[in-house]
Amino acid sequence: MPPLDWLRSFEAAARLSGFTAAASELGVTQAAISQHIRSLEERLKTRLFTRLARGVELTEDGAAYLPHIQSAFARIGDSTLELFEPRTLQSVTMRSPISFAALMIASALPRLAESLPLIQLRIETIHKPAGYGECRDALDIRFGTGSFAGRQAERLTRETLVPMAAPHLAEDPDWTSLPLLSVVGAREMWGEWFAAAGLEPRPRAAHRFDTFVTALEAAKAGGGILLGSRPLADVALREKSLVALSDRVLASGAGHYLTAPAGASLTRAEAEVRRWFVADFRQSLDSDRLN
């Protein structure tokens, strides 16, 4: 690797478009900057700057090299700050499906605050997969089977589906004739549930929602029968605002995953949040949270 002072001189001269300005910023002479650049060019066997009447201009090779040097310096600076500066409140942004944010993350916040008192979580809710865009954020929660392009994933939940309804509807012995509530997308599995239960689905009124959390509220209000997702619906079942209508449970094969860009370096705060989420949710991953 070239000496660090050569690289510092190169970065400053490139950013400031001049050796004199770089010398002023770094507290050395213009001659020292010029010597560092000359030595670096000789080491790399390429011209990094074109000398102009006033200032300098990066060559094609210099322009290609600059972002790598700036990224390396930024990483050193961030690491130094994280490891040796006094700990202060740090913010971590996480994208999440709105249902998981409302029904799982919200109730987990007191535990998170106790374990990581200097972490401030910023939740951005996603309604559709396209909402993740270009995966700019390091951490996000995704629903699926665990395969997400360009991202490494760790499972947080394993989804099962069971019919459920408000208590007064659950008293109807012929509940299969009541209006069905369904969620557009991966959870629209009423046909699969009836087939697994060996029941013939009958024509009935049906209401469809674009988020599970909205369908859940409709079920609690008595709007119909919901094929409820556990563990998302577990709080409602524990509180008896919803009642399971059958022992027949359908495994969807999907679940929620905490994901990060493959090969990315997380900040210390992001790494701490990641470890906490995996540890907290893994405790109940394979157990019935009603018990």
pLDDT the model gives residue 88 = 76
pLDDT the model gives residue 95 = 92
180-198 b/e (C-beta count within 10 Å ≥ 16 → b): bbbbeeebebbeebbeebe
Residue 287 lies inside a defined structural domain of this protein: no
Structural domain harbouring 112? 90-158+255-282
Number of domains making up the chain = 3
Q: Are strands 180-183 and 49-51 parallel, antiparallel or unpaired?
A: unpaired
Q: What is the CATH number of the domain that holds 122?
A: 3.40.190.10
The answer to whether the pTM exceeds 0.85 is: no
Q: Residue 118 in 3-state DSSP?
A: coil
pLDDT band at 86, cuts 50/70/90?
Answer: low
Residue 290 lies inside a defined structural domain of this protein: no
pLDDT in tens, 227-283: 999 999 999 999 999 999 999 999 988 899 999 888 778 888 899 999 999 988 877
pLDDT in tens, 194-221: 888 888 766 676 888 988 999 999 999 9
Tell me, yes or no, whether 46 and 116 share the same domain: no
Q: In three state form, how does the secondary structure of 200-256 look? A: CCCCCCEEEECCHHHHHHHHHCCCCEEEEEECCCHHHHHCCCCEECCCCCEECCCEE
Tell me, yes or no, whether 212 and 73 share the same domain: no
pLDDT band at 288, cuts 50/70/90?
Answer: very low
* Rounded-to-integer distance, Cα 204 and Cα 219, Å: 16
Paired tokens of 282: 């893994």
Q: Are strands 206-209 and 180-183 parallel, antiparallel or unpaired?
A: parallel
Residue that finishes a domain, picked among 52, 84, 116: 84
165 or 191, which is more confident: 165
